[in-house]
């Protein structure tokens, strides 16, 4: 009993200590989390009935340690699994708090801002804003979302790719996120303005696009999960990029142009990076070209265009 309770308590202490050692702390991918959590859940389910029976039997025993041990295995094990998820989530605090803030802003938007359409229009970005002095909308629009599905998909992408970038840049990940979002909105608005295409736009997708391009260049061979199926981060990232390239040719409510602007933010932010990070990105770019060539060769045997078209 004592060891288990200390284990749960030590999880919280470890979490607090990890805050202090953030610069040296390992940030694990979602694939590692899913494998560990599924393993623990399966083990818990398999042993649940035997542990319940042993717990009942232990009530007739004078050994208090056995009673407490089986009680924790039956009732406290789910909380231990939740603590694993909790600790994993906060391994990358910048990504975690960005997700929290996006969710908070969505509820603020739904329960307050939506009642003031003129204010919403000022906070969303628009092609005319750059020429009317409303420069702040290229920033504020990053934190607004059209609906809950828009929010969830962006948070999921942020969780996957943001953690990959945070492995390398730690707190600077916030700067990459914000700078990518602003650059993506400026590029999208300028191109759309000269095309005569006017619309309001909102969402963190452009900012996340900047994280995507950084992630696939920094850690191309890291694995993530796609509906529990392991997939290299570079492959998932390039699928999303291809979706946006194909999407600009179609009549879509998604601002794919802003996404492409977010990817191109790398060309600006590259010059603000340290030399070691520049070298790693150049190496990652070369590796991506090789990997894409391999994927292209494989695609000659397996047609993947229908799958991409379906996603678009």
CA 130/CA 190 separation, integer angstroms = 8
SS (H, E, C) 261-302: HHHHHHHHHHHHCCHHHHHHHHHHHHHHHHHHHHHHHHHCCC
Assess contact for 180 and 234: CB atoms under 8 A: no
The residues pairing with 230 across neighbouring beta strands, listed in sequence order, are 225
Helix (H/G/I), strand (E/B), else coil: 98: helix
**Distance, CA of 242 to CA of 248 (rounded, Å):** 10
Q: pLDDT tens for residues 210-249?
A: 999 999 999 999 999 876 789 999 999 999 999 999 898 7
- On average, the pLDDT of the chain sits at 88
Q: Measured between alpha carbons, how far is 274 from 170 in angstroms, rounded to an integer?
A: 14
Q: Return the pLDDT at 25.
A: 79
pLDDT, residue 311, reads 52
Mean pLDDT for the stretch of residues 116-140: 95
- Which is nearest to 150 in space by CA: 130, 124, 176? 124
pLDDT average, residue stretch 85-105: 96
In terms of pLDDT, which residue wins out, 126 or 297? 126
Does residue 46 register a pLDDT over 70?
A: yes
Question: Measured on CA atoms in the order 210, 213, 218, 223, is the torsion positive or negative?
Answer: positive
The arithmetic mean of pLDDT across residues 194-211, rounded, is 95
Q: Which two tokens stand for residue 185?
A: 């909105």
Q: What would the two tokens of residue 140 be?
A: 């504020």
Mean pLDDT, residues 95-120 taken together: 96
Distances from the Cα of 115 to the Cα of 120, 165, 189, angstroms: 9, 36, 26
CA gap 67, 57 in Å, rounded:
9
pLDDT at residue 23, rounded to an integer:
72
Domain residue limits, the chain: 2-89, 93-311
pLDDT of 128 > 70? The answer is yes
Of the candidates 236, 193, 216, 208, which has an alpha carbon nearest to the alpha carbon of residue 142?
A: 208
252: pLDDT strictly greater than 90 = no
Question: Is residue 19 predicted with pLDDT exceeding 80?
Answer: no
Residue 8 has a pLDDT of 46
Specify the higher pLDDT residue, 300 or 290: 290
pTM greater than the 0.75 cutoff: yes
Closest to 138 measured CA to CA, from 86, 178, 97:
178
Evaluate if residue 47 carries a pLDDT over 80. Answer: yes
Section 43-59 average pLDDT: 92
- For 197-204, what is the mean pLDDT? 95
The full DSSP string for 148-201 is HHHHHHHHHHHHHHHHHHHHHHTTHHHHHHHHHHHHHHHHHHHHHHHHT---EE
Q: What is the pLDDT of residues 301-312, one digit of tens each?
A: 766 555 555 555
The one-character DSSP state at 26 is -
If one compares 301 and 184, the residue with the highest pLDDT of the two is: 184
For the chain, the distance separating the N- and C-terminal CA atoms, rounded to the nearest angstrom, is 53
Express as a percent the part of the chain with pLDDT over 90.
Answer: 72
Q: How far is CA 59 from each of CA 52, 66, 97, 138, rounded to the nearest angstrom?
A: 11, 9, 45, 64
Superfamily designation of domain 93-311 = Rhomboid-like (1.20.1540.10)
């Amino acid at each position: 009993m004592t060891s288990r309770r200390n284990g749960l308590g030590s999880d919280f202490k470890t979490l607090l200590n990890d805050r202090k050692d953030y610069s040296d702390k390992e940030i694990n991918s979602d694939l590692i989390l899913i494998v560990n959590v599924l393993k623990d859940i399966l083990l818990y389910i398999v042993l649940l009935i035997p542990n319940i029976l042993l717990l009942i039997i232990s009530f007739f025993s004078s050994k208090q340690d056995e009673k407490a041990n089986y009680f924790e295995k039956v009732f406290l094990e789910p909380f231990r699994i939740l603590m694993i998820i909790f600790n994993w989530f906060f391994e990358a605090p910048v990504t975690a708090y960005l997700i929290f803030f996006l969710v908070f802003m969505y509820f603020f938007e739904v329960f307050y801002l939506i009642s003031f359409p003129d204010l919403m229009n000022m906070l969303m970005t628009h092609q005319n804003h750059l020429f009317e002095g409303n420069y702040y909308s290229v920033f504020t629009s990053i934190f607004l979302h059209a609906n809950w599905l828009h929010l969830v998909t962006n948070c999921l992408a942020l969780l996957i790719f943001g953690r990959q970038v945070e492995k390398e840049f730690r707190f600077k990940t916030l700067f990459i996120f914000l700078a990518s979002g602003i650059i993506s909105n400026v590029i999208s608005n300028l191109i759309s303005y000269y095309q005569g295409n006017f619309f309001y736009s909102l969402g963190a997708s452009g900012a996340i696009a900047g994280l995507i391009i950084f992630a696939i260049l920094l850690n191309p061979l890291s694995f993530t999960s796609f509906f529990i199926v392991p997939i290299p981060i570079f492959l998932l990232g390039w699928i999303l990029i291809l979706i946006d390239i194909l999407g600009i040719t179609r009549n879509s409510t998604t601002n794919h142009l802003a996404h492409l602007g977010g990817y191109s933010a790398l060309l600006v932010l590259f010059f603000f990076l340290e030399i070691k990070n520049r070298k790693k990105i150049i190496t990652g770019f070369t590796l991506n070209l090789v990997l894409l060539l391999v994927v292209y060769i494989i695609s000659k045997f397996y047609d993947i265009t229908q799958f991409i078209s379906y996603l678009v």
